[in-house]
């Protein structure tokens, strides 16, 4: 059973509760609109980052599952399934790196 643990995002703040120490001043609608727009942009950016991270984790899990099935096939004595292409390729530089020696 998965249990949700309350974190720092679940803490009620005065901004989340819409509580103000002073009553709203006339003409502050533009400021509120600006702040809400900034908050929306921040949350959209965070959502995009979470989606990227989720896609990356899914790819990693798929690669791990393939390796597990291959190793289980080797253990059971059967032939392991052939994968189309390894996910990671060895990185080889096209030309040698420039190196500078320092003498002390």
Ordered DSSP codes for 21-86: SSPPPTTTHHHHHHHHHHHHHHHHHHHHHHHHHHHHHHHHHHHHHHHHHHHHHHHHTSPPPPPSS-
Q: What percent of the chain has pLDDT over 70?
A: 75
Q: Which residue has the higher pLDDT, 26 or 14?
A: 26
- Per-residue pLDDT of 29-73, as tens digits, reads 888 899 999 999 999 999 999 999 999 999 999 999 999 998 888
* Mean pLDDT, residues 7-25: 71
Domains of the chain by residue range: 27-80
**Does the pLDDT of residue 1 top 50, yes or no?**
no
What is the chain's mean pLDDT, rounded? 81
**Does the pLDDT of residue 16 top 60, yes or no?**
yes
φ/ψ of residue 91, rounded to 5 = -85, 120
Of 67, 87, 85, 83, residue with least CA distance to 75 = 67
pLDDT value of residue 51: 96
């Amino acid at each position: 059973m998965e249990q949700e643990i309350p974190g720092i995002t679940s803490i009620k703040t005065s901004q989340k509760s819409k509580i103000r120490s002073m009553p709203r001043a006339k003409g502050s609608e533009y400021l509120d609109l600006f702040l809400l727009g900034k908050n929306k942009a921040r949350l959209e950016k965070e959502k995009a980052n979470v989606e990227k991270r989720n896609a990356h984790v899914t790819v990693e899990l798929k690669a791990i599952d393939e390796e597990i099935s291959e190793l289980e096939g080797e253990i059971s004595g059967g032939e392991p399934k052939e994968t189309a292409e390894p996910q990671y390729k060895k990185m080889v530089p096209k030309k040698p790196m420039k190196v500078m020696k320092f003498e002390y």
